Amino acid sequence: MKVWAVAWNTYRGLLHNRALLALSLFFLFIFVSSAGGIYFAARLSEAGAAEQARRLFAQSIGSLLNTNAVFSFILAAFMGAFVLPGEIKSGTILPTLGRALSRSQYLLGLFLGINLLLATYLLLVAVAAAGLMLWSGVGVEPYLLLGLVYVVLIANVVAAIAFLFSVLVNPQVALVALAFFLSLGGLAASIRLVSQVWAERVEAVVDYVLPAWGLLNYSDYLQVTRTPAARSAEFFAVGLAHGLDYLAVFLLLALFAFRRRSLLPPS
Amino acid sequence: MAAALRFDEVSKSYPAWRRLRRRPVQALDGLSLEVEDGEIFGFLGPNGAGKTTALHLLMGFIFPDRGRGRVYDYGFGDPRGRLRIGFLPENLGFYRYLTAEQLLWYYGRLNEVPDWSLQVRVPDLLEKVGLGDARQRRLGGYSRGMLQRLGLAQVLIHDPDLLVLDEPTSGLDPLGRRLVRQLLLELKAAGKTIFLSSHLLSEIELVCDRVGVIHRGRLQRVGSVRALLEASSRMELTVRGASPALLDALRQQGAEVYEQDRLHRIVLDRDQQRPAIERLWQEGGELLSAVPARSTIEEFFLEAVEDTPPEPGGPR
């Protein structure tokens, strides 16, 4: 009950955040422009150019989900990094945690509030995307929903990492740490351009420290959404399981770090 | 009487860097203090003395380096103990997108107040602090004084046993200050315990049972307000129609005389009081009030602060 009260209040606060609103408008613009691609794909199909239509449709839906994913991650990163420091800076944390509320309940409430916003956003995206598909006459693709579940999960992991580092240090460091974690998957690929041996070593280290981290890699996700048939159900299951693992680990670490953290703004 | 609040040798320092060396600032240095159930305790101290640090420690916002403390039967920061506390921080932050009603509902729910009770308490409290007409307005449009009034309402939403107030009259106009004083006296009559941190000595004198002065992180003195006032060797008379001869005579005897709107305020020794009043009446003057000189608490405070030797490494 208390966790829900904090979550609902956090959600309302995020809905009133002007920076997030501006970001949403930007996304809306991109969303509308990719809708054009889907519509033309449907018209091409009607004209008998089935192969071109399939390609254009795949590109358009890929671009839509790509934008949606990037936006979700940005949203999750900023919310995860700034929600708690924002409460500390504004002083709203003091009367809230001056209540019969444990720190864990409070932090979980904040995280749940972020999730509520992400869920609202992705629900809107799902409804809008489904509407676009129906409108353009191609029918709703079921893998879209799966793709969105994947996005929710990755966005949650992103928010949890940002959350942990914002509890430990500050939002700026949280964003840098997040960039580091997210670039780990692509690190080996970049090094491979220079040295195959070093790339394998880095890959081994990354795999040892963060097992199956690559399953949450953003580029892999794109492949999934563009060619869903190429991925097995097992791939999704393992990816989801690892995603949940990482989410739980980062969140638990954040809860632990928050137990003894000062609630006063840094002087 | 049982202790509502207790500090046992509590110390707290903050990290600080000076000339590339880490030199912690000692905010509290072995603070020991007990506030009894049902009393109003005034917590005095100059800026940087450690008052707010003590309040934040007892709420569990920060943690002591040494020592411990209890609120009723619970350690500092225990949510079960906080359920019995109403806390007003000095710089209170509000959610600007909420209305006063929504905020009180939110805080009430966090304090386990049932909805049926909140339906009655929220409008009642908002009326009590003079925000009845503004209860549907978003807090972003509130003035500082209105926010401070709302701060008092949120303190009382769960009917706490112990009120911890940090500068409750800060930002309030004279009407608001009177409201706070009345509220504190009502709460005192209802048997609540109040731990009041304030710079305003006149407020402390009006509402507190005991006062403690903290300076350089240590409790320097504790005393009963009543005993201090009774022990006062000076009285303050407010008179009308005193003759210049009488005023001159009193000045020569060491009294301080201040003129204000055709009235005279005379601060004199207690043993000078009776002859002065008798002469005033004989000359047709009027005595408007006779109270212990207000400087009593001030003197108590200044003596406690000025007698403190400087501490190496203490707050500067």
Which of A1, A27, A29, A226 has its CA nearest to residue A101?
A: A1
Whole-number Å distance between alpha carbons of B33 and B11: 12
pLDDT for A54: 66
pLDDT for A222: 47
pLDDT for A225: 46
Quote the tokens at residue B187.
């709460």
Asked if B61 is an interface residue toward chain A (Cβ–Cβ < 8 A), one would say: yes
Which of B62, B286, B81, B64 has its CA nearest to residue B193?
A: B81
Whole-number Å distance between alpha carbons of A161 and A253: 9
CB-CB neighbors (< 8 A) of A17 in chain B: none
Provide φ and ψ at B32, rounded to 5°.
-125, 130
Nearest chain A Cα to B61, which residue? Answer: A263
Q: Is the pTM of this model over 0.95?
A: no
**Is residue A105's pLDDT more than 70?**
yes
Whole-number Å distance between alpha carbons of A76 and A180: 16
Test B89 with A98 for CB contact under 8 angstroms. yes
Q: Which of residues 66-95 of B touch A (CB under 8 A)?
A: 79-80, 82-83, 85, 87, 89, 91-95
Test B111 with A100 for CB contact under 8 angstroms. yes
Which residues make Cβ contacts (< 8 Å) with residue A175, sequence separation at least 6?
Answer: A77, A78, A81, A162
Which of A179, A17, A4 has its CA nearest to residue A82?
A: A17
Interface test with B, best of A15, A88, A99 (most B CBs within 10 A): A99
pLDDT tens, position by position, B198-237: 877 777 877 888 888 888 888 888 888 777 766 667 788 8
State the average pLDDT for chain A: 78
Whole-number Å distance between alpha carbons of B114 and A82: 32
Which residues make Cβ contacts (< 8 Å) with residue B23, sequence separation at least 6?
Answer: B16, B17, B313
Test B110 with A102 for CB contact under 8 angstroms. no
pLDDT tens, position by position, B267-309: 888 888 888 898 889 888 899 888 877 556 777 777 767 766 5
Question: Mean of the pLDDT values across residues A194-203?
Answer: 80
Of A16, A92, A264, which is closest to B62 when you measure between CB atoms?
A: A264
Find out whether B263 and B288 touch, Cβ atoms under 8 Å.
Answer: yes
**Is residue A138's pLDDT more than 70?**
no
* CATH 3.40.50.1370 assigned to B234-293: no
pLDDT for B268: 86
Which residues make Cβ contacts (< 8 Å) with residue A221, sequence separation at least 6?
Answer: A69, A147, A150, A151, A154
3-state secondary structure string, chain A? CHHHHHHHHHHHHHHCCHHHHHHHHHHHHHHHHHHHHHHHHHHHHHCCCHHHHHHHHHHHHHHHHHHHHHHHHHHHHHHHHHHHHHHHHHCCHHHHHCCCCCHHHHHHHHHHHHHHHHHHHHHHHHHHHHHHHHHHCCCCCCHHHHHHHHHHHHHHHHHHHHHHHHHHCCHHHHHHHHHHHHHHHHHHHHHHCCCHHHHHHHHHHHHHHCCCHHHHCHHHHHHHHHCHHHCCHHHHHHHHHHHHHHHHHHHHHHHHHHCCCCCCCCC
Residue type, A76: A
CA angle centred on A182, ends A178 and A184, rounded to 5°: 120
**Is residue A27's pLDDT more than 90?**
no
Domain ranges of chain B: 3-229, 234-293
For A27-48, letters b (16+ CB in 10 Å) and e give beebbeebbebbbbbbebbeee
pLDDT higher for A228 or A253?
A253
Total domains in chain A come to 1
Alpha helices, DSSP H only, in chain B?
Answer: 51-59, 79-82, 100-110, 115-128, 144-156, 174-189, 201-207, 225-230, 244-252, 270-282, 295-306
Q: Establish if A210 belongs to a structural domain.
A: no
Q: What is the ipTM of this complex?
A: 0.80
Asked if B130 is an interface residue toward chain A (Cβ–Cβ < 8 A), one would say: no
Whole-number Å distance between alpha carbons of B170 and B182: 16
Q: Which range has the worst mean pLDDT, A22-36, A168-182, B7-21?
A: A22-36
Q: Which range has the worst mean pLDDT, A149-153, A209-213, B99-103, B296-300?
A: A209-213
Q: How confident is the model at residue A5 (pLDDT cuts 50, 70, 90)?
A: very high
pLDDT for B129: 85
> What is the distance in angstroms between the Cα of A6 and the nearest Cα belonging to chain B?
8
Which of A86, A85, A68 has its CA nearest to residue A17?
A: A86
Question: Mean of the pLDDT values across residues A134-163?
Answer: 77
Which positions of chain B have pLDDT values less than 50? Answer: 312-316
Q: How confident is the model at residue A142 (pLDDT cuts 50, 70, 90)?
A: low
Question: Mean of the pLDDT values across residues A144-168?
Answer: 83
pLDDT for B194: 92
Beta-ladder partners of B70: B6, B75
Whole-number Å distance between alpha carbons of A168 and A253: 10
Asked if A257 is an interface residue toward chain B (Cβ–Cβ < 8 A), one would say: no
Asked if A1 is an interface residue toward chain B (Cβ–Cβ < 8 A), one would say: yes
> What is the distance in angstroms between the Cα of A19 and the nearest Cα belonging to chain B?
15
CATH of domain B3-229: 3.40.50.300
pLDDT for B232: 65
Which residues make Cβ contacts (< 8 Å) with residue B36, sequence separation at least 6?
Answer: B1, B2, B3, B4, B193
What Rg, from alpha-carbon coordinates, does chain B have?
23
Whole-number Å distance between alpha carbons of B217 and B257: 38
Query: Helix A103-136 to helix A18-46 angle, to the nearest 10 degrees?
Result: 30
**Is residue A229's pLDDT more than 60?**
no
Whole-number Å distance between alpha carbons of B221 and B229: 16
Test A98 with B59 for CB contact under 8 angstroms. yes
Whole-number Å distance between alpha carbons of A91 and A28: 33
Of B63, B85, B95, which is closest to A98 when you measure between CB atoms?
A: B85
CB-CB neighbors (< 8 A) of A13 in chain B: 95, 97
- Containing domain of residue A151, as a range? 2-182+216-258
Residue B106, SS3 per DSSP: helix
> What is the distance in angstroms between the Cα of B57 and the nearest Cα belonging to chain A?
10
Test B95 with A93 for CB contact under 8 angstroms. no
